[in-house]
Amino acid sequence: MSDWWSRMEPNGHEALKATVLVVDDDPIVRNLVCRILKETNYNVLSAENGPQGLEMSRKFEGEIRVLLSDFQMPEMSGIDLASAITVDRPQLKVLLMSGFPKGLLVLNEGWHFLAKPFIASQLNSLIETLAYPDKRSRFASLENAEIGDVKSPRLSPEVARYRALQKK
């Protein structure tokens, strides 16, 4: 049975997905991100700073699949928070977000970055990819389509017909 079916409730609605720990000192951003993730059916833990997020991680007995943290926060940075949490939870996926306007952010291998501002679909796509790395993409059929394939939706019908005729 696929992972997708195992997450379905008897009424046909998808059961709660993975747990995501959201840490951001800006209450507007934190509440918006939490709302977006809850609407996508994730179990969301929320903290307003690094020390609170670390404590929440230590007290939560279940699996936390993704840490979504602001990069720059007072008291404890997102990098310091992620470093501390991954000691106890080495399988945790890390997604740091920031409106950092200049420069290059260097992250540990396997950590990910989301630039602010972002849209809900970007956030959901990244969280889904991190929380369920083995899940087949809904675009998998497109990834395997040939460029000249008439049925490929990546090409306009005119270009697809032209390329198909060139193949003959």
Q: How confident is the model at residue 78 (pLDDT cuts 50, 70, 90)?
A: very high
Report d(CA 159, CA 10) in Å as an integer: 45
Omega of the bond leading into 117 within 30 degrees of 0 (cis): yes
End-to-end CA distance of the chain: 42
Question: pTM for this one?
Answer: 0.72
**Domain chopping of the chain, boundaries:** 3-135, 141-168
Return the CATH superfamily for domain 3-135. Response regulator (3.40.50.2300)
Closest to 89 measured CA to CA, from 69, 60, 109? 60
Condensed to tens digits (0 to 9), the pLDDT of residues 130-166 reads 999 887 655 444 444 444 444 434 445 555 555 566 5
Report d(CA 17, CA 67) in Å as an integer: 14
3-state secondary structure of 14: strand
Q: How far is CA 143 from CA 92, 153, 161, 162, in A?
A: 28, 11, 20, 21
* Partners of residue 36 on adjacent β-strands: none
Report d(CA 153, CA 40) in Å as an integer: 27
